[in-house]
């Protein structure tokens, strides 16, 4: 039975869908003013894995991940670039989808955009104003009145009386209370704006997600996810807005993935340790990045370093090496013991590190079976492919992964030429030259695999 850690209750709970056999999942997506960084990659991969597992378990899943395509940062970047904000956001949405595909992240079922949800946003704000949960400030902006919502602070554990002006919010004389937050911003000159009952303006960030999630999944749904940094104030504000407007419970389970750290320091542009997915992909294959993300539990901090990525590469190499030479039959029976152990790990709050350890146990048995029992090896290989597919890994051909270092194809040709030269040297009994070629290749990170019949294959270190 699947148990999920619920940030709202601060404990693991047995997952019980609102509607039997169906799951509604909403995840806060990207604000598209720049390329995706490793923190974004973690959100993508973690909740893609969650979605894959729900579907494996037979649930009818509706996975929604929004796009924030209007906010202060987008407008500022467009002004700096001297381009239309829509042109800017389209470019980075395309780039986000490219990164997503590279990381084997399946697209969400629905991907609403803030600019396409303006009517729903305005409707929710009108409801909040009518219920005296929102008001027009002295500057014309519409604000949410947090002290009017009794449950404020339930997700983050913060007490409204203890929150001080200036803590994550700026002092704004237009507000009644320093903790009140904006729902609708009045338009400034030369900024994108939409008609509303309060004049030309645009939505605040928090209200966008409340409107998009409830429009896609209903007033009350199963799971809301996102990065831990969104817990307060963003998700706290979503609860206040949504429950205030609908009078219903908003979300049953809140899931938050942990921060990404770089060499044990928090990733930030100011520290100069900020990496985009594209930068990392220049050094490492996408599957290595995905494996690296899954090697830590989603709620734990994830420490990015070259050593961690190299460890992920070595681990994947072990798994692919086990698969090489074993004929995986698509309709082969799955080894039930490994399937049970794998599912037990995933049922324990999506514990991917333990699930990966099951795959390594499976690979060890597969390596032994390849020597003695080909039928057993085929079943084990099919099991390894199927279970790893639930994590979005090991779907490549083993030789493709083991030989590909991201270099030009001519690099492989040179390696094959050196192997042929070594074979010729051995035929001529020139053992010194044969050893030199092997050592030279090893120095290039190429490992030859010999058998009594000669060199059978090679792989990258």
Q: What residue numbers does the annotated binding site for Zn(2+) cover?
A: 28, 209, 234, 238
Q: Cis omega (within 30 of 0) on the bond before 233? A: yes
Where is 302: in which H helix or E strand?
A: strand 302-304
Backbone dihedral angles phi then psi of residue 420, each to the nearest 5 degrees = -65, -40
Length of the chain: 461
Determine the 3-state secondary structure of 18 from DSSP.
Answer: coil
Distance in Å from the first CA to the final CA of the chain:
40
For residue 194, give the DSSP letter.
B
C-alpha closest to that of 320 among 402, 436, 234, 237: 402
Binding-site entries? 28, 209, 234, 238, 269
Q: 230 near 256, Cβ under 8 Å?
A: yes
Question: Distance between CA atoms of 181 and 206, rounded to whole angstroms?
Answer: 9
Q: Where are the alpha helices (DSSP H) in 218-264?
A: 236-246
C-alpha closest to that of 404 among 288, 326, 304: 288
In order, the DSSP letters of 183-217 are EEEEPPTTS--B--TT-SEEE-HHHHHHHHHHHHH
Q: Which residues pair with 12 in a beta bridge?
A: 5
Q: Which residues pair with 27 in a beta bridge?
A: 65, 225
The residues near 422 (Cβ < 8 Å, ≥ 6 apart) are 433, 434, 437, 438, 448, 455
Q: 403 near 445, Cβ under 8 Å?
A: no
Please report where in the chains the tokens 């190299």 appear, as a residue.
Answer: 310
Question: Distance between CA atoms of 172 and 177, rounded to whole angstroms?
Answer: 9
Handedness of CA 426, 429, 431, 434 (dihedral sign): negative
C-alpha closest to that of 255 among 221, 287, 217, 228: 228
- Structure token pair of residue 421: 């030269």
- Structure token pair of residue 158: 């913060």
Please report where in the chains the tokens 């290989």 appear, as a residue.
Answer: 381
- Structure token pair of residue 450: 């010999």
CB atoms within 10 A of CB 54: 22
The residues near 387 (Cβ < 8 Å, ≥ 6 apart) are 338, 339, 342, 355, 358, 359, 362
Cα angle 211, 228, 8; round to 5: 70
């Amino acid at each position: 039975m699947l148990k999920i850690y619920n940030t709202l209750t601060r404990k693991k709970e047995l997952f019980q869908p609102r509607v039997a056999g169906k799951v509604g999942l909403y995840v806060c997506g990207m604000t598209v003013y720049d390329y995706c960084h490793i923190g974004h990659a973690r959100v993508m991969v973690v909740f893609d894995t969650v979605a894959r597992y729900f579907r494996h378990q037979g649930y009818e899943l509706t996975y929604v991940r929004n796009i924030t395509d209007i906010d202060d940062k987008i407008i500022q970047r467009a002004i700096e670039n001297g381009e239309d904000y829509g042109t800017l956001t389209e470019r980075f949405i395309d780039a986000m989808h490219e990164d997503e595909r590279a990381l084997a992240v399946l697209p969400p079922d629905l991907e609403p955009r803030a600019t396409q949800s303006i009517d729903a946003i305005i409707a929710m704000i009108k409801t909040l104003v009518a219920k005296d949960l929102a008001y027009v400030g002295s500057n014309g902006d519409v604000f949410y009145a947090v002290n009017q919502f009794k449950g404020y602070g339930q997700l983050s554990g913060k007490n409204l009386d203890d929150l001080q002006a200036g803590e994550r919010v700026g002092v704004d004389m237009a507000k009644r209370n320093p903790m009140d937050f904006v729902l609708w911003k009045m338009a400034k000159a030369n900024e994108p704006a939409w008609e509303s009952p309060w004049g030309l303006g645009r939505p605040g960030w928090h209200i966008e997600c409340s409107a998009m999630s409830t429009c896609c999944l209903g007033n009350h749904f199963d799971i809301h996810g996102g990065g831990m940094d969104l817990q307060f104030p963003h998700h706290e504000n979503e609860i206040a807005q949504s429950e205030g407007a609908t009078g219903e419970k908003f979300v049953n389970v809140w899931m938050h993935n942990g921060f990404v750290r770089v060499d044990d320091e928090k990733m930030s542009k100011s520290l100069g340790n900020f990496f985009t997915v594209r930068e990392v992909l220049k050094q490492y294959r996408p599957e290595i990045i995905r494996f690296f993300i899954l090697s830590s539990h989603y709620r734990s901090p994830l420490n990015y370093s070259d050593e961690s990525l190299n460890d992920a590469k070595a681990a994947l190499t072990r798994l692919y090496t086990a698969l090489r030479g074993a004929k995986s039959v698509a309709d082969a029976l799955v080894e039930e013991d490994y399937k049970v152990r794998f599912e037990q790990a995933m049922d324990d709050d999506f514990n991917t590190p333990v699930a990966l350890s099951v795959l390594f146990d499976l690979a060890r048995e597969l390596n032994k079976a390849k020597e003695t029992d080909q039928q057993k090896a085929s079943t084990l290989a099919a099991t390894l492919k199927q279970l790893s597919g639930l994590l979005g890994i090991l779907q490549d051909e083993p030789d493709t992964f083991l030989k590909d270092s991201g270099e030009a194809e001519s690099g492989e040709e040179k390696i094959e030429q050196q192997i042929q030269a070594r074979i010729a040297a051995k035929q001529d009994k020139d053992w010194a030259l044969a050893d030199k070629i092997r050592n030279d290749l090893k120095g290039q990170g190429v490992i030859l695999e010999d058998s009594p019949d000669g060199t059978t294959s090679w792989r990258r270190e």
